[in-house]
Amino acid sequence: MASFGTVRRVVLPVVVLAALAGVGVLAVERARSVPSPGTMFGNVEIRQVDLAFQAAGAVQAMARREGDAVRSGELVAELDDATYQQAYALAEARRDAAKAQLDLLLAGTRPEQIDQARANVANAQATLAHAEATFARQEDLVRRDVASRQAYDDARMALDAGRAALAQYKAALAEAVAGPRPQEIEAARAQLRSADSTAKLAAVQLSHTRLTAPTDGVVMTRVIEPGTVVLPGSAVYSIAIAGEVWVRAFAPEPLLGRVAPGTEVRVSSDGGHAWRGRVGYVSPVAEFTPKTVETPELRTQLVYRLRIRIENPDDALRQGMPVTIQLPGG
């Protein structure tokens, strides 16, 4: 049977070796978890736009759902446009009426109206001539006490009426020959401009019943369903903008000399994908490290915000996903 001292001499070296092995493994893991001096962390920028109608009404159709790709200018939703169609038709009719009125004034008086006015003047002249002759006879008869005073007065009134009628018809003839006044034409032109603007406004309001995508992208959220009554500005879709992909990161002060605009970097995801990027912007103003930023320095250290443009993005990049940025020589 082995003595206690013998067991102690055997177990102690084994324990020491195990402890040293554990320390070594811990050191290796810690070394692996500490980023290299040229490593930064960031996130793919979230670039999205909320689509909304600029008119009020009941949503009649929605052509896209979550995850559907959309193209710039593609129709994605429609409102019931019956009211806007009628308003546009009414505005067009009023514009046409205003244009017809202006054309009528610009055309001037019709020849038939001028001829009628001249005929009225001639008739009034004949009537006046008869009234003058009648008055002259009555005046002579009254002077000789042959006719009554009443007959004389009637003849004088007929003469005055004939003269007034002739003056009236002459004025009407002059007005017909001169045509519309310039002020009337300008008023008609202003009325046409007003009606035309109203028609254009109605056309714009009608176009607002059709919602189109302002850019290429993917539908993130479909906020409502067909049949919903919306007000102007109420969000209908949220679309993630496709195209350029930017990464937002924060660089500690010691790395500023290595992140000048134009610097090429390597951007990788946790899934093992990697892309080439280029620094496009570095903030000239320092800020405190936000809590969501991972840097090996203390949280109270000042950092600088920068943006990196991915040169050849693919479907493996998603908005908001975390990425690792490796600087040249890091």
pLDDT in tens, the chain (330 residues): 444 444 445 444 444 445 444 433 333 343 344 456 788 999 999 888 999 999 999 999 999 999 899 999 999 999 999 999 999 999 999 999 999 999 999 888 888 888 898 999 999 999 989 989 988 888 888 888 877 888 888 889 998 998 999 899 888 888 888 788 899 999 999 999 999 999 999 999 999 999 999 999 889 899 999 999 999 999 999 998 888 899 999 988 888 888 999 999 999 998 889 999 999 999 988 876 555 555 555 545 678 999 999 998 888 888 889 999 999 876
Out of 2.40.30.170, 3.90.1510.10, 3.40.1310.30, 1.10.10.60, select the CATH number for domain 36-46+243-326. Answer: 2.40.30.170
Domain chopping of the chain, boundaries? 36-46+243-326, 48-80+209-241, 87-204
Distance separating alpha carbons of residues 228 and 237, to the nearest angstrom: 13
Kindly report the pTM of this predicted structure. 0.64
What values do phi and psi take at 262, rounded to 5? 95, -10
Scanning the chain, the segments in alpha helix (DSSP H) are: 4-33, 82-107, 111-143, 149-178, 182-207
- Cα–Cα distance for residue pair 322/311, rounded to 1 Å: 17
CATH class assigned to 87-204: mainly alpha
Q: 48-80+209-241: which CATH topology?
A: OB fold (Dihydrolipoamide Acetyltransferase, E2P) (2.40.50)
- CA–CA gap between residue 296 and residue 303 (Å, rounded): 12
How far apart CA 135 and CA 279 sit, in angstroms, is 109
* AA letter at 300: T
Same CATH topology for 48-80+209-241 and 87-204? Answer: no
